[in-house]
Amino acid sequence: MKKVFKYGLMLLGGIIGLIGVAVAAMYWSDFPRYDTSIPTLTIDYTPTRVERGRKLASMLCVECHQNPETKQITGRLMFDLPPEFGTVYTKNITQHPTKGIGAWSDGELVSMLRTGIHPKTGRAVPPYMIKLPMMADEDVFSIIAWLRSSDPMVQPLDVDNTPSSPSLLTKFLMRVVIKPFAYPTKPIVLPDSNNKVALGKYLVSNLGCNDCHAADVTKVNALEIEKTPGFMGGGSNWTDVNRKVLYAANITFDVETGIGSWSEADFRRAMHDGIRPDGKPLLYPMERKVQLTDHEISSIYAYLKTAPPLKNSRKPAEEYTLAADASAGLKVYTKYGCQRCHGESGLGIGDLRQADKKYPNDSTLTDVIKHSSKYFPETVMIQWDGIIKEEEYAPLCAHVRELGRKASTRASR
């Protein structure tokens, strides 16, 4: 009996050892490699495609790849990803021939966007990089046309790529759960724009709505989005620019915990202006979608109404605590969640530290905060007019200027 027990322990120890070796090997390995065939195609970069591509890329590529300091899509720290993915930096996707994608062929770009396989290395790209297996050919071609365009944001810039440090969970998912997509065997066409539900489904499928508002981002079904567990019910955890945890909202039409009480006008205001019906701002990383037309927003609303209502209350976001002697401006900055987008230092989605010099008088700076779209038509910044109290603008401007002065002091050392 003792021998049986002894050999059993030895067997168990061996199994544990093998598991340990496998885990260690996975941790130190790169993402898996796959065979891929690159289609031979040449895209016609028409002005219409470039404009359409600019609109799509601003919602799919720019928000992740634009660096707040270079102002171009040279890559940045993905501070808004669920922390379980590790430390992630997006890549330089300007037209630079070696550090960007300037030397890539049209076929290579289409292949990677469709399948999620890097055409140069054959390795799977990370799960957090957008893939477009269901996007219409015309829209994929339009995104590439914009990447090849004369837009200042995509011009070649000699900026090195910062290596990412994906977590063990990410590497496990890449080897066991998340696989590349098959390249489409037939053309994918745009939906009928007059069919609101069909257009809404297309937009929800291809703009990442399903990825963010799922219950678990590791279980998203990109090919059949309605089969995603907890479809549109929210609950997945994300972070703001300071790595504070917050959770995706329930956007099913449950009246108590979702958006079932929202009118279409309420939904349009949230999407266009970033303000909920209760007057509260949307929480980052949800950005207002200024690029979408009223018809497109109406179509998304119509499609979401077809999703089964789910009762799923949103967990509260991780709060910020302030010292007792915090300035009045910092209190306003924190009250309205400015730090969630701009960072506690002023460097986040945009570089707020430059505002002090760019807008030397408070009247102009206040107007920019109130009506940012007047100055930057495609900004995703919330339109604060009527939300921030009039008496709060003076201390808020003072805090913004203090952020700029602190940055200048650090830079001069």
Q: What is the mean pLDDT of residues 99-124?
A: 95
Rounded to 10 degrees, what is the CA torsion of 49, 52, 55, 61?
-40
- Counting every residue written for the chain, the total comes to 413
Q: In whole angstroms, give the CA distance from residue 164 to residue 123.
A: 15
Q: Which of 45, 144, 41, 57 is nearest to 102 (CA)?
A: 144
Q: In whole angstroms, give the CA distance from residue 297 to residue 243.
A: 30
Residues 173-232 have pLDDT tens digits of: 888 878 899 999 999 999 999 999 999 999 999 998 988 899 988 888 989 999 999 999
Residues 225-254 have pLDDT tens digits of: 999 999 999 998 888 889 899 999 999 999
Residues 261-306 have pLDDT tens digits of: 999 999 999 999 899 999 989 888 888 899 999 999 999 999 999 9
pLDDT of 369: 95
User: What's 196-304's CATH class?
Assistant: mainly alpha
The helix (H) or strand (E) run that includes residue 174 is: helix 168-176
pLDDT at residue 412 above 70? no
Q: What is the mean pLDDT of residues 320-333?
A: 95
Asked if 289 and 200 touch (Cβ cutoff 8 Å), the reply is no
Asked if 103 and 382 touch (Cβ cutoff 8 Å), the reply is no
For residue 285, say if its preceding peptide bond is cis, omega within 30 degrees of 0: yes
For residue 141, give both structure tokens: 């071609």
CA distances from 327 to 17, 21, 119, 323, 353 (A): 56, 53, 52, 9, 17
DSSP 99-157: TSSTT--HHHHHHHHHH-B-TTT-BBPPTTS---TTS-HHHHHHHHHHHTS--GGGS--
Phi, psi of 355 (to 5 degrees): -65, -30
